[in-house]
């Protein structure tokens, strides 16, 4: 099969941001024309939004259609080699690479080490770049962990990677996420909230406040404010009436950065400007309940900590 030996390249993109000009699940206007006009993933035909870094010697400078394996993300310009590969792909009959760390209903999360699964994560990044506008920043995937969101069809029991987030193994800024994407066919279902929830639950388990790499794109900021606001609302509505809660307390309870807590509270418009606690701000609970109702915010955390899989459970299932 004509696939790229991307592991031999000097550097591959680690995708840092969602598109700055994306709205309602599709881009307004791409800043660069895609070099792949159509991409086939399994049975899906998808229109790319941005160019990716597929090597010209294998894909060409502009390709009408690129075939991508839904199991391992290897790619080909030719239909027949792609069909032959997908029938025998070693990932077809096995779970996705990495370790299962979370499972709830039809969704699961696998943690994949970029150093251990270099070719897989490089091909995954190349595919994702078709839907992400990135800055001119390149890193080696070996310094990152990838968290794959997998949907398992209850009828066929087949799993499909539908998105992921990546994070640095060692972040001096305590970033718990570098790149996040839900692939277009599965967008606008609230699945990004699951990935964000996983990133914060991992921060909690590591015992440190975390947050996404900044600056965020316009769309990324909106998505995060929605997540931060929901988490804050769930916490504050369970606090006893008339109990003073500082921003620092909210931050420590949610494992979100204090500045992110303040940004979300201001966006929610639930602060009482005339009242201050600990040189900070106080929240009007009536406005908070109005915000929850107006935004149809769920009282349930998108990620249930009890559904994390311990290594012992994972071994037993294997």
Between CA 240 and CA 204 the distance in angstroms is 23
Residue 213 annotated in active site:
yes
Query: Degrees (nearest 5) of the Cα angle 162, 167, 170?
Result: 160
Closest C-alpha to 165, from 90, 224, 106, 232: 224
Q: Which residues of the chain have pLDDT under 70?
A: 1-31, 134-139, 242, 274-281, 311-318
Query: Degrees (nearest 5) of the Cα angle 236, 205, 175?
Result: 85
Which of the 8 DSSP states describes residue 308?
B
Between CA 212 and CA 299 the distance in angstroms is 23
Residues 125 and 137 sit within 8 Å (Cβ to Cβ): no
Predicted confidence (pLDDT) per residue in 191-241, tens digit: 999 999 999 999 999 999 999 999 888 888 999 999 999 999 999 998 887
φ/ψ of 294, rounded to 5, equals: -65, -35
Q: Residue 271's pLDDT is what?
A: 86
Among 111, 133, 213, 317, the active-site one is: 213
Predicted confidence (pLDDT) per residue in 8-23, tens digit: 333 333 333 333 344 4
- Domains of the chain (ranges; CATH) run 36-215 (3.40.630.30), 219-295 (1.10.10.10)
């Amino acid at each position: 099969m004509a696939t790229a030996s991307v592991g031999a390249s000097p550097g591959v993109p680690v995708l840092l941001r969602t598109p700055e000009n994306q709205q309602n699940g599709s881009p307004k206007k791409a800043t660069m024309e895609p070099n792949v006009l159509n991409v086939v993933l399994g049975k899906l035909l998808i229109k790319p939004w941005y160019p990716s870094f597929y090597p010209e010697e294998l894909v060409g400078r502009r390709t009408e259609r690129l075939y991508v394996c839904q199991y391992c993300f290897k790619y080909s310009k030719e239909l027949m080699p792609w069909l032959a590969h997908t029938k025998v792909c070693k990932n077809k009959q096995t779970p996705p690479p990495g370790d299962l760390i979370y499972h709830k209903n039809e969704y699961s999360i696998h943690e994949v080490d970029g150093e251990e699964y270099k070719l897989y994560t490089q091909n995954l990044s190349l595919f994702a770049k078709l839907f992400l506008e990135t800055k001119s920043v390149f890193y080696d995937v070996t310094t990152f962990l990838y968290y794959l969101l997998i949907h398992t069809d209850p009828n066929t029991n087949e799993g499909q990677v539908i998105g992921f987030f990546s994070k640095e193994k060692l972040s001096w800024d305590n970033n718990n996420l570098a790149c996040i994407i839900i692939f277009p066919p599965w967008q606008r279902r609230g699945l990004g909230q699951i990935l964000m929830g996983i990133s914060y639950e991992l921060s909690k388990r590591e015992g440190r406040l975390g947050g996404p790499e900044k600056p965020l794109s316009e769309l990324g900021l909106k998505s995060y404010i929605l997540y931060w606001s929901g988490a804050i609302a769930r916490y504050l509505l369970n606090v006893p009436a008339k109990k003073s809660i500082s921003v620092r307390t909210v931050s420590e309870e949610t494992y979100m950065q204090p500045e992110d807590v303040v940004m979300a509270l201001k966006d929610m418009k639930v602060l009482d400007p005339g009242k201050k606690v600990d040189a900070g701000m106080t929240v009007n609970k009536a406005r908070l309940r109005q915000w929850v109702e107006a935004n149809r915010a769920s009282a349930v955390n998108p990620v249930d900590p009890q559904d994390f899989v311990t290594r012992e459970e994972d071994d037993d299932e294997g």
